Chains A and B, each alone.
Chain A
Amino acid sequence: MSERAKSILLASLVLLSLFLTYQLWFVQKPLEVLTEDSYEPNYFEEARSLTGIVTPCRVVLLWGGTFYQFRYGQKAFTTLWNAVSGLLQRIPAPELSRMEDAPFTDPPVLALSFQPPLPSGQGSVWLKNDVQRELKEVMLITNGEHWRLKFNTTAGETFEGPISDIEALQIQKTLESLDLSEAIPQRELNSEELSAALGLNIEVAAPIYVPDRPVHLEELVFKEEELDRELLVRTFFVDRSLVRVVTERDGSLIYTDGEKGLRLGSGLTYSHPQLEQSPATYTYLAALNSASRLLGYYGGWAEHLRLESLLLQRKTGQLSEHYLACWQSYYQGKPIMGDIVIKMTFNDSGMVEYQRRLYEVAYSTGNTYAVPGYLEALLAALDLLREENTDYRETTQPLILEEMMLGYALKQETLRALPVWLIRINGLNLEIDASGVESPKGVSP
């Protein structure tokens, strides 16, 4: 080979090596860079601990001869629940069963009702040394000198036992520290008084407390919950590269990998039909933790949400079963009704279905409404029953009042919420407008 050819070849090889080095150094990405986010954990938040999953549906306080009622989202509710929860976590359960004296006959100072029930005993954080139970009511009673803890279980059992003086003192301090200046005194509805006032036979099924003085509630404006859509998709689908997108005519997006589907429009809807056939062998306690983990991972547990029910369901004629968990949105102790939904079904294989459409309070308009009294609301509810429920026969059917409370009704079109009375009579949920402006909303079975 001539020297000239060698020089040309050498120069070419030097240039080629420079080019290849450049390619290797700057252009080609290392494998770890290409794959780094493929399996990174994606979720909104960690699961809540059990103390944050189950909360009372109602706390009734009898203080100074006056009833007060608190629900989720009120400051006093949180204070009282934390105090009782702490007590139940510290108290040695066997002490409760050592009840030798006669039960206290005084009405409870504090009564906490649970729906879904409070899991206690082994595996739970409450009454850890006890056998597993599901509590539907926890009460604190005093005879003026000593305090006792009493609880009713879903199995119909009642337990009562003394609590130590130190614990009693702590509870007493908590109660004395409560600021009740803003709290509205309540009255307990009584079947005879109510029947006489309404001029018909009405029975109060369970203790119901209603405001004993005029109540004014403000009009609220809501905004739709905004979730990080990309994070949501990554949460549901481990490998994003396998997910395809369907753009619907209304702008909603459907993400699917052929097995499961996620629709993001107004809220989210998710389904994984192949998991439907699996069983649900979770215990109640494990199901609570699963519900919390799933909600935390897939969108997060918003502050205003309370777990409202957790039920084991089985389809007729099928072996498959699942848990159905539903949450309710609250604003300062009042449930928000309307087109708000957050519910999921899950079993041993995972989440089968999930619906989430949430709204958060943006601001108050400043308009306040004088809420009609409970008698007025009940009369309106009875009118509604007569008008819309053809099966209702006042003369033959006894009226059973099951629930009555104040809430808000959110109107989808305006995103404004006005106060309503939520009344349940004979298994029918009635929403009675409480703003004094609009007519009753309707009947739902």
Chain B
Amino acid sequence: MNLGKAKTILIIAFLGLNLFLGYHLYWPYLGQLTKTVVTAAELQQALAYLAANNYNLDADIGRYVQKSTFLTVTPAQQGPEGIRDLFNQATSSTSENGLTVYRDPDRVMTVHPGGQIQVEFQPGLFVVEQSHTLEERELSRLVQQQLKENFFLPEQLRFDYIEKVRTNDHRLILHFYRDIGGMPLFACYTKVFLEEDYITALEIYWLDPLEQPREGEMEVIPATDALIKLVDELGPGLLPRTITKVDLGYFSREYNAEMWEVPPVWRILMEDYSVYYINAFTGNLEADL
């Protein structure tokens, strides 16, 4: 056998060996890149299950493998960085129940002991005429612009949705959440109250992430499983109910604590603005404990 032939045989043998070793080492990871967790048939089954229980899905849902982990947060006692500076000239008073109130001629900020903040504007910040007729995105852009120019807007804030107050067509609540590396932290929110084209009040609950999501990411349950779990928990709807948003993010209830870990959840928003959080690891409806 000549040397050239021997080399060719060895190349083929080692190539085969390397493919074999590579398959064993990396196939689970490569497989995940292409794996679809929710097949078209599974999605149809889930939709049929929802429909049978009087629920209608009117939202896009991700169908690919997603991984997540816990996020450690601490409550910002004085709200998002910088907001307190806006009240440097204000008179402040602290009541017996721990509420601290900062008063300026045109705005009042109330800081609750747990870290929740309420800001009331007097008479309000004008946004735009006929605000309730605008598209959601456009209105949220104008509101953010107004807050940035005339009050305060944290950079990490992202628009979530607009809630129309049933009793008053000209009253809207714009919901924002804090973005953490591309994932919504629903537990850290800002609500903007809009009335007759004016921003009248804000509600802020601000959390700061202490650490990047801890190691050991785990696969989360598919959105379809979360929807089925929710329907199982709520039971069949007496009247048809429409699901308008299904998003993966972080959520936990508010604790009067130093820090806590927040789990990933599937946040499910209904047409009537009721919100449910399904733990994306366990599939359990997140409850107050």
Interface locus among A20-28, A82-90, A198-206? A20-28
Chain B residues 18 to 63 lying within 8 A of chain A, measured CB to CB, are: 18, 21-22, 24-25
Docked-complex contact A20 and B263, CB < 8 angstroms: no
Say yes or no for B70: interface residue by CB 8 A criterion. yes
Say yes or no for A230: interface residue by CB 8 A criterion. no
Docked-complex contact A10 and B11, CB < 8 angstroms: yes
Docked-complex contact A244 and B7, CB < 8 angstroms: no
- 19 sample A-B contacts, Cβ–Cβ < 8 Å, listed by A number: A3-B4, A13-B15, A13-B18, A17-B14, A17-B18, A24-B24, A28-B25, A244-B261, A246-B255, A246-B261, A247-B258, A247-B259, A247-B260, A248-B257, A249-B256, A249-B257, A260-B289, A271-B289, A273-B289
Docked-complex contact A247 and B14, CB < 8 angstroms: no
Docked-complex contact A257 and B10, CB < 8 angstroms: no
Say yes or no for A245: interface residue by CB 8 A criterion. yes
Chain B residues 213 to 252 lying within 8 A of chain A, measured CB to CB, are: 216, 218, 252
Docked-complex contact A273 and B70, CB < 8 angstroms: no
Docked-complex contact A241 and B7, CB < 8 angstroms: no
Say yes or no for A16: interface residue by CB 8 A criterion. yes
Say yes or no for A180: interface residue by CB 8 A criterion. no
Can you name 11 extra interface pairs (CB under 8 A) apart from A17-B14, A24-B25, A249-B258? A6-B8, A10-B10, A20-B21, A23-B25, A244-B70, A246-B257, A248-B255, A248-B256, A248-B258, A249-B257, A258-B282
The 9 closest A-B pairs by CB, nearest first: A244-B261, A13-B14, A20-B21, A246-B260, A261-B289, A6-B7, A248-B257, A258-B279, A247-B258
Chain B residues 142 to 175 lying within 8 A of chain A, measured CB to CB, are: none
Chain A residues 1 to 19 lying within 8 A of chain B, measured CB to CB, are: 3, 6-7, 9-10, 13-14, 16-17
B216 surroundings in chain A (CB, below 8 A): 241
B3 closest partner in A (C-beta):
A3
Known: A10-B10, A24-B25, A248-B257. A256 touches B289 (CB 8 A): yes
B255 surroundings in chain A (CB, below 8 A): 246, 248, 254
Say yes or no for B179: interface residue by CB 8 A criterion. no
Chain B residues 253 to 273 lying within 8 A of chain A, measured CB to CB, are: 255-263
Known: A241-B216, A246-B261. A259 touches B287 (CB 8 A): yes
Say yes or no for A242: interface residue by CB 8 A criterion. yes
Chain A residues 253 to 300 lying within 8 A of chain B, measured CB to CB, are: 254, 256-261, 271, 273-274
Question: In the complex, what's the smallest C-beta–C-beta distance from B205 to chain A, in angstroms?
Answer: 16
B17 surroundings in chain A (CB, below 8 A): 17
Docked-complex contact B281 and A242, CB < 8 angstroms: yes
Question: In the complex, what's the smallest C-beta–C-beta distance from A355 to chain B, in angstroms?
Answer: 15
B265 closest partner in A (C-beta):
A258
How many B residues face the partner with a CB closer than 8 A? 35
Docked-complex contact B218 and A241, CB < 8 angstroms: yes
Say yes or no for B284: interface residue by CB 8 A criterion. yes
Docked-complex contact B21 and A17, CB < 8 angstroms: yes
B284 surroundings in chain A (CB, below 8 A): 257-259
A257 surroundings in chain B (CB, below 8 A): 279, 282, 284
What is the size category of the interface that chain A forms with chain B? 20 to 34
B203 surroundings in chain A (CB, below 8 A): none
When chains A and B are docked, how far (Å) is the Cα of A7 from the Cα of B259?
Answer: 59
Chain B residues 117 to 145 lying within 8 A of chain A, measured CB to CB, are: none
When chains A and B are docked, how far (Å) is the Cα of A204 from the Cα of B261?
Answer: 58
Question: In the complex, what's the smallest C-beta–C-beta distance from A188 to chain B, in angstroms?
Answer: 51
Question: In the complex, what's the smallest C-beta–C-beta distance from B70 to chain A, in angstroms?
Answer: 5
Q: A244: which of B10, B21, B24, B262 is its contact (CB, 8 Å)?
A: B262
Say yes or no for B286: interface residue by CB 8 A criterion. yes
Known: A13-B11, A17-B21, A258-B279. A274 touches B261 (CB 8 A): no
B7 closest partner in A (C-beta):
A6
When chains A and B are docked, how far (Å) is the Cα of A258 from the Cα of B253?
Answer: 10
When chains A and B are docked, how far (Å) is the Cα of A258 from the Cα of B8?
Answer: 60
A245 closest partner in B (C-beta):
B261
Q: B260: which of A9, A245, A260 is its contact (CB, 8 Å)?
A: A245
Question: In the complex, what's the smallest C-beta–C-beta distance from A34 to chain B, in angstroms?
Answer: 11
A261 closest partner in B (C-beta):
B289
B263 surroundings in chain A (CB, below 8 A): 242, 244, 258
Question: In the complex, what's the smallest C-beta–C-beta distance from A2 to chain B, in angstroms?
Answer: 10
Docked-complex contact B260 and A6, CB < 8 angstroms: no
Docked-complex contact B14 and A20, CB < 8 angstroms: no
A260 closest partner in B (C-beta):
B289
Docked-complex contact B18 and A20, CB < 8 angstroms: yes
A254 surroundings in chain B (CB, below 8 A): 255, 257, 260, 289
Known: A3-B7, A10-B10. A20 touches B22 (CB 8 A): yes
Docked-complex contact B14 and A14, CB < 8 angstroms: yes
A21 surroundings in chain B (CB, below 8 A): 21
B18 surroundings in chain A (CB, below 8 A): 13, 16-17, 20
Question: In the complex, what's the smallest C-beta–C-beta distance from A129 to chain B, in angstroms?
Answer: 48
When chains A and B are docked, how far (Å) is the Cα of A21 from the Cα of B25?
Answer: 9
When chains A and B are docked, how far (Å) is the Cα of A6 from the Cα of B4?
Answer: 8
Docked-complex contact A258 and B259, CB < 8 angstroms: no
B281 surroundings in chain A (CB, below 8 A): 241-242
Docked-complex contact A10 and B7, CB < 8 angstroms: yes
B22 surroundings in chain A (CB, below 8 A): 20
Docked-complex contact B261 and A20, CB < 8 angstroms: no
When chains A and B are docked, how far (Å) is the Cα of A7 from the Cα of B4?
Answer: 9
B262 closest partner in A (C-beta):
A244
A3 surroundings in chain B (CB, below 8 A): 3-4, 7
When chains A and B are docked, how far (Å) is the Cα of A259 from the Cα of B284?
Answer: 7
B13 closest partner in A (C-beta):
A13
A246 surroundings in chain B (CB, below 8 A): 255, 257, 259-261
B260 surroundings in chain A (CB, below 8 A): 244-247, 254
When chains A and B are docked, how far (Å) is the Cα of A330 from the Cα of B22?
Answer: 65
B282 surroundings in chain A (CB, below 8 A): 242, 257-259
B25 surroundings in chain A (CB, below 8 A): 20, 23-24, 28
